[in-house]
Amino acid sequence: MELNTLTYLAICIFSCLLAGKLVKRIQLPNVTGYLVMGILIGPYVLNLVPADMVEKFGIISEMALGFIAFSIGAEFKLSYLKKVGKAPVVIAFTEALGGVLAVDLVLIAMGQDPAFSLCLGAIAAATAPAATLMVVKQYKAKGPVTQTLLPVVALDDAAALMAFGVSVAIAKAISSGEVDIAKTILDPLWEIGGAFVFGAVLGFFISLLVRYFHSRGNRLSIAIAGVFLCVGVCDMVGFSSLLACMMMSALFVNLSDESDKVFELVDRMTPPLFMLFFLLSGADLNLRIIPTVGVVGAIYVVMRMVGKVLGSAAGCKISHAEPVVSKWLGFTLIPQAGVAIGLSSVAMTVVPEHGPAIRAIILCGTVIYELTGPVITKIALTKAGEIKA
């Protein structure tokens, strides 16, 4: 008898609950358990959840990322931004640039094709906020590192898109001898600027609705509809849905006195969605790809981490952040997932001769970063004294 969609969803949620209990015994973050369980029951190991079903559940990932971005945007309260000043903006751009330069310089020094090196290095800027946010929420981390971390991962998406746009333009010029300056400027501007404007409009709109709808059910419905509308429209017109959802919640949290109550309702509704997101992310990871990437893949994985740590430290120094932030923040920026995979698809069209290699390396990096990133984040926040034993 063939199982139906709802049965598969139930299997996935029960598997997440089991994984969460098991990893707690060895003091690992829940998100690591969800990812590992996804790998085990996914199509590449036990095949309890087949590949066609994982693909069918793609909408769950889009929904989850929208709510993750919505939660992160809540950290952008004006009172907090006035207190921390320019530090998150400076650090977001220096850590992204650090990852790009570290990969670019080492690969070019090794004699790799410059266009290939630039495209691969550009993707190194991207950081996945989902795993980081889950670790912060699970352990209720508090302190200067956590306070700086959340705005940094929120801004990282914008920094990564800018770095990618510039790097790809240079790579195109090297490969073909031509460069479209207008496209290089306008594409990131449309994706980032459009996301900020559209997100701000939606944030203002839901802040008005909350004034007229007072029951918890109605307010939760407003938040859910806002996230769905934001993600859906962004997918249609080419805006960054992560940035738009962050901007929507950032404006909402500053305009509405009722925002805390709405975010509390959303936090109670989203745990099963986040569980499914990470389990399905794990199910989509093919461990067999790791041995295929060779020395270049290993260099990418290592040098991206080195660049993130050094770039973050440099940004902390420039912005006069606290010493504990400078020491540990970079280690919380390791996870990489959806945005990087999306950018690798674009890179395949820029340097098609290197496309399969870039795709394989990014997918391999995603496997390693998603499995190790949450653990490293937990260790860093514990060392910084922001996660209590």
- Is the CB of residue 139 less than 8 Å from the CB of residue 172? no
Q: Which fold has domain 5-383?
A: Na+/H+ antiporter like fold (1.20.1530)
| Torsion of Cα atoms, 17 then 22 then 27 then 32, to 10° | -60
Tell me how far the alpha carbon of residue 165 is from its chain's centroid. 18
Residues near 75 by beta carbon (within 8 Å), at least 6 away in sequence: 147, 150, 151, 154
- Encode the chain (389 residues) as per-residue pLDDT tens digits: 678 889 999 999 999 999 989 988 888 888 888 888 988 998 888 889 898 888 888 888 888 888 988 888 887 788 777 776 778 888 888 988 888 889 888 988 888 888 888 888 888 888 877 778 888 888 888 888 888 887 888 777 777 777 777 777 777 776 665 555 566 566 667 777 888 899 999 999 999 999 989 899 999 999 999 999 999 998 898 888 888 888 899 899 999 888 889 999 998 888 899 889 888 888 877 777 777 767 888 888 899 999 999 999 999 889 888 888 888 888 888 887 666 766 776 676 667 777 777 777 887 887 788 888 888 888 889 988 888 76
Smallest Cα–Cα separation from 278: which of 98, 31, 76, 53? 31
How does pLDDT run across 174-213, given as a tens digit for each residue?
Answer: 666 555 556 656 666 777 788 889 999 999 999 999 998 9
Domain ranges of the chain: 5-383
What tens digit of pLDDT does each residue of 141-168 get? 888 888 888 788 877 777 777 777 777 7
Tell me the two tokens of residue 185: 């400027």
Is 89:318 a contact under the CB 8 Å cutoff?
no
The predicted model scores a pTM of 0.79
Q: E strand or H helix at 237, and its extent?
A: helix 216-237
* Cα 384 from Cα 380, distance rounded (Å): 6
Complete DSSP assignment for 317-363: HHTT--HHHHHHGGGG-----HHHHHHHHHHHHHSGGGHHHHHHHHH
Tell me which amino acid residue 223 is.
Answer: A
Q: Which two tokens stand for residue 151?
A: 């705005």
At 307 the three-state DSSP class reads helix
**Cα–Cα distance measured from residue 312 to residue 262, given in angstroms and rounded to the nearest whole number:** 33
Which two tokens mark 284?
């989509």
Name the one residue in this structure whose structure tokens are 């429209």. 233
Backbone angles phi, psi at 256, to 5 degrees: -110, 130
CA distance 323 to 320: 9
Burial class (CB in 10 A: 0-12, 13-18, 19+), 26: exposed
Angle at 248 between CA 215 and CA 328, to 5 degrees: 110
